[in-house]
Amino acid sequence: METTRILIPPFSLDIDGVLVDVLEVSKQTLPNGEVWYIVSCSIRYKGIKSKVFPLYVKNEEDLKNKLKIEITKIKLLEITHGLEELKRIMR
C-alpha cells in the first residue's frame, strides 16, 4: 500500500542540516500537459535568513536536489568570502 504525504505550506525542510522554509507552492500545467511546481522558499543558514526565491521543480525529489545545490553554493560562499560577506550577500 502506498502512502501519500500532504504538506500544507508554510513548512520547513531539513536539507543537509540546513533549514529551508517552503512558503508557497504553485502547480503549473504546461500546454503539453507536463506539470511543474513553482516553490517559493527561503534558506536559514547559521542565523542568516535568505531572501525568498523561486525554484521550478518537477517533484519533491527534484526540489530536494535543487535545494542541495543552493545550500552548497551558500557553503562555498562562506568558505571563499567569509561569514560576514555571506551575511551581506544573503540579505
Task: Return the pLDDT at 1.
Answer: 62
CB-CB contact of 41 with 21 (8 Å): yes
Count the alpha carbons within 13 Å of 79 in the hemisphere toward its beta carbon: 6
Q: Does the pLDDT value for residue 77 go beyond 80?
A: yes
**Summary mean pLDDT of the chain:** 93
pLDDT at residue number 20: 97
* Whole-prediction pTM: 0.87
Q: What pLDDT does 9 receive?
A: 84
Mean pLDDT, residues 13-34 = 95
Domain ranges of the chain: 11-90
Over residues 78-83, the mean pLDDT reads 95
